[in-house]
A and B are shown apart, each in its own frame.
Chain A
Amino acid sequence: MSVDAGLNEAHLTVRHGPLAGPVLGRVVGMLAARADCPIDRLDDALLIADAVASRAGSYSDDGRIGVLVSAQTGAVELNIGPLQENGAQQLIASAELPGVGNVLERVADELLPERSNSNGEYLRIRMAFGPAGRASTSTGGTDAT
């Protein structure tokens, strides 16, 4: 997966473990802030980053977490992978917290498992903020398929 030079995005690959949370959180926070993400949604974005960092390594083949983080005006997207077969669904399911519900489903506007013919499975998480981001969110809510 490569980055588009003209966009506000970064591709991070980090070994599953104590590094993943702090590093992914900083990268997501930085790009989201640069896209004028409001403070309450920035907190949500970091919640998503923490959930991904703590669990995604269990569903990848090599124990490494790959995340393409992109932020435009109105939305932040995390494209996580490659994951094992059904890894995207398992990652979503693993974010269930007793008494809280599923963190990813509650916070994200879109959860979209995607299959790459050559390179396993990916989970695209989209979190919208502000009128521009909401307008381009097709489902207007969680779409965990």
Chain B
Amino acid sequence: MLTGGPDGPPEPLPEEVTATPDLELKLPARADNIAVVRHAFGGLAEALDVGEQALADIKLAVTEACTNVVIHAYDDDELGPLEVAAFIDDRMLTVAIRDSGRGIVPRTDSPGLGLGLPLIATLAESLELGSGPADRTEVLMTFRLDGSDDPA
């Protein structure tokens, strides 16, 4: 498990995130669909009156996690699903990004810089990598919805 947060000890992850999510989105794992996920979180933020800075952090972290699915989860000739689930509890948002691909494994031929997960760990209150329902690969992040809008 990898946890992290910019300020103080990380928030504990919810013990059980198999509860019914407030929002689920399932799309083909294509690069152009990452924008759809970002827009969906824009709508979520509008409904929950989330501040600009908190929304920017959520969108960036979710984008990184979804990009990992698009680039790494499936073989080049394979197009699998990208699943996003969001749970809202008392001004805390838990986001699960899931795929049915090969799992999180080191790649010597990775086209990326390897900054995605450290970036998510910095932006989120907590981060956990593991297996979700039905053995799908899962990145689980929590965010505080009423975080300060002061970038300092």
Contacts and interface: CB of A to CB of B under 8 A. Distances in A.
Interface in B20-54: 20-30, 32-33, 35-36, 39-40, 42-44, 46-48
A9 B26 CA distance: 9
Given A5-B80, A6-B79, A64-B20, A26 B43 contact: yes
B20 A27 contact: no
Interface residues of A, number: 28
B24 A26 contact: no
B81 interface: yes
Given A5-B81, A13-B23, A27-B40, A19 B28 contact: no
B26 A22 contact: no
B28 A23 contact: no
Nearest to B78: A5
B40 A34 contact: no
| Interface of chain A: mostly helix, strand, loop or mixed | mixed
A21 B22 CA distance: 13
Contact of A3 (B23, B28, B32, B47): B28
Interface string A111-124: 00000000000000
B32 A23 contact: no
A2 interface: yes
Given A25-B43, A31-B36, 4 more contacts: A5-B29, A21-B43, A26-B42, A27-B25
22 contacts: A4-B28, A5-B28, A5-B80, A5-B81, A6-B79, A9-B28, A11-B25, A12-B24, A12-B25, A12-B26, A13-B24, A14-B23, A15-B20, A18-B47, A21-B47, A22-B44, A23-B40, A23-B44, A24-B43, A26-B40, A27-B39, A27-B40
